[in-house]
Amino acid sequence: NFQLEVARAYLNEDMYFPHNLDFRGRAYPIPPYLNHMGADNCRGLLRFSKGKELGTAGLFWLKVHLANVYGYDKASLQEREAFAMEHLADVYDSATNPLNGKRWWLGAEDEWQCLAACFELKHALDSPDPTRYVSHLPIHQDGTCNGLQHYAALGGDKAGAQQVNLEPRDRPSDIYSAVASLVEAEVDTEAAEGNMKAVTLKGKITRKVVKQTVMTNVYGVTFIGARAQVQKQLEILLPDLPRDKPDLTHNALAGYIAAKIFKSLGALFTGARAIQKWFGECANRIATTITSEQIEQLGRESRGEVIYLAPKLKDKALQKGKKRIQPTLMFRSSIIWTTPLKMPVVQPYRSVKSREIATNIQNISFVDPHATDPISRRKQLQGFPPNFIHSLDATHMLLSALKCDEEGLSFASVHDSFWTHAADIPKMNLVLRDAFVAMHGEDIIGRLASEFAARYKGSIYLASVYKRSKVGEQIHAWRSVKYASKRHANSAKHQIPELFEEAERQRLLSSEDPELRKQGEEMVTPASIFLAANDPSAFAVPSEIAMSELGRIDESASPEEAREDADLFASAFSDPSSAALAEAAEHNTVVDVEGEQYETSSDSDEAMDSVGAVTSGERDTSDKEKAMLDRVTEVTRELRADGAYVVPPRKRRPQHYKLSLWLPLTFPPVPEKGDFDVTRLKESQYFFS
């Protein structure tokens, strides 16, 4: 009602929507209640102030728009036009008597926008010459899962490009239906083999079941988040599942499907998966980086000189009673990149603790952010891939808006949905395609790699390797001799001395004096041991990015364990218990341990960031995760006591130990790009439609 009152106050008045850009360049209207990014009822109320005659092309696109907002948007353009004409009687009835007639418009996907289109089409057809009708209605052109469009172009994925309409085709492709078909084929195969989950789900895999997970996977949805999304759909499709079969609960079946969705996406977008992996590796190194200036500062602090940390960090940096500097509190390098529009993007995620002030009336909590706060490593890593893609779609939107303004087109956008007059849709479509090709015609990933190398030159980062790897054993043996102790060889207290040693080695190696370079070459540090071994497989994959790749579940697991990943711990939770887990998953408050994900709260940032990557000799399982396992056991006992069903015990995964070491900051090679030619999308009529 309030939105209607705002609309009534501006009835027949010209309005402008000033916009803010967020840190990625995405544009959001400032007026909060009535704007074109609002709900369907808001969009249905808004029209362009200036009208344009439809023309033949405009009349065609008005009919296509009606089919689109009704929900008939997977057919060819000609079939959509025919849909509008076949329902012309319904259109007239909706426009003439919207409340007391057949109310056909209420069956639309976007009801109010459909009603607005019905009014516009009726007025046009009732005019003496429909092509001369002056239309004010915004007509939309939407991308096909725009994030995947960018990934397919970045990775040069031919198969993926076909599924998101970058490749010219006679009919529009539907990535959601394609993934649903792949999942359904696997389910049918396993049902024939007697898999009871597959038997239960046979014939139940619809486009709607997979859509939300496919849509959000590219933006970093976790496995638990995906499982929660699928579970919502299964609860509608299968409301009467037996409660005495723990392997056939909604939660277990949702995990089974989510794993297959991830696998299908990984198969379709191989290049995108490689890029996401590269994003994660780069982000992990940057998030644990210490610059040369910070190393100098640490040196002064270790000698008892003035500490230049913010006052609230001094007590943290010097651990109680030991006066030992904690280097991970120096991790303050945000991930920074520049968009093709030359806009710098700085991820703002830092670990900020709330403070509480007690008053006579109540306790007041507030946060005190500061530029010197340590970064939130988890958020930096998980946020980088989706934020980078968001910065690309923001660039595409702004490039398109600038060109449309040059061409005299009215323009509005909702991220990857672009609006203009019906008569100008052909012109805008050319603009959208030219802007996308111009952007992806450049080597975006190669330029990003060069920017990272220049921006973080001379830095050192805290890496992790598996202790049981060959190089891990060599480093452990060297430390045991150096520190005369096997038990404490990998203690975190050695991090600062080893940091200074590695910084000195790098200084000597970069010297122009041959004698100094020779001294650097003769120095032995964990980094020199690692680089001599030349074994990239020894790197430990950070838990925060282990699930960030398209199709990634857990490649290190055995086949049996990989299958179990799909419904991990599902049978240990009754439906009410899993609801809380699903709610947490929607906020990405999840950690992953050896491919197994557990709920955690936002407070986990403090625990995770306080140790940086992984402290020497630390196991994957943290106190938070152990508490979660205890909770699983507790729920299991409750279920057994209730007698609802008995949960079979699950074996624990073997735990891997990690060693940390300082390495000179370099970045992995840029993934090889596929052979898809992005200029082909200029011929694709369904790229935006």
The catalytic site residues sit at: 142, 211, 416
Q: Residue 631's closest CA among 593, 592, 574? A: 574
The runs of H, that is alpha helices, within 168-269 are 175-192, 196-201, 207-217, 223-237, 250-268
Q: How many other CB atoms are found less than 10 A from the CB of residue 470?
A: 13
Q: Decide if 134 contacts 659 (C-beta within 8 A).
A: no
Query: Percentages helix, strand, coil for the chain, rounded to the nearest 5?
Result: 55, 10, 35
Distance of CA 189 to the CA centre of its chain: 31
**What gap in Å lies between CA 138 and CA 35, rounded to an integer?**
13
Sign of CA dihedral 197, 200, 202, 208: negative
- Provide the residue type at 233 as one letter: Q
Sign of CA dihedral 219, 222, 225, 231: positive
For residue 409, what are its two tokens? 């087109």
468 φψ region: left (φ > 0), alpha (ψ -120 to 50), beta (else): alpha
Residues 6+ apart with CB under 8 A from 588: 220, 221, 222, 225, 382
**What gap in Å lies between CA 528 and CA 662, rounded to an integer?**
10
**What gap in Å lies between CA 72 and CA 48, rounded to an integer?**
24
Cα→Cα distances 210→152, 205, 501, 587, Å: 19, 8, 52, 19
**What gap in Å lies between CA 608 and CA 604, rounded to an integer?**
6
Q: Residue 34's closest CA among 69, 6, 11? A: 6
b or e along 537-554 (b: 16 or more beta carbons within 10 Å of the residue's beta carbon)?
Answer: ebbbbbbbbbbbbbbbbb
Q: Residue 58's closest CA among 422, 569, 498? A: 422
Q: How far is the first Cα of the chain from the last one, in angstroms, to the nearest whole number? A: 32
**What gap in Å lies between CA 172 and CA 685, rounded to an integer?**
8
Sign of CA dihedral 161, 163, 166, 171: positive
Q: How many other CB atoms are found less than 10 A from the CB of residue 375?
A: 24
Question: For tokens 């050695």, what's the residue?
Answer: 494
Pairing state of beta strands 658-664 and 460-466?
antiparallel
Q: Decide if 116 contacts 44 (C-beta within 8 A).
A: yes
Q: Residue 53's closest CA among 122, 136, 126? A: 136
Residues 6+ apart with CB under 8 A from 344: 336, 337, 338
Q: Decide if 158 contacts 87 (C-beta within 8 A).
A: no
**What gap in Å lies between CA 193 and CA 61, rounded to an integer?**
49
Residues 6+ apart with CB under 8 A from 161: 152, 153, 167, 676, 680, 681
**What gap in Å lies between CA 524 and CA 502, rounded to an integer?**
9
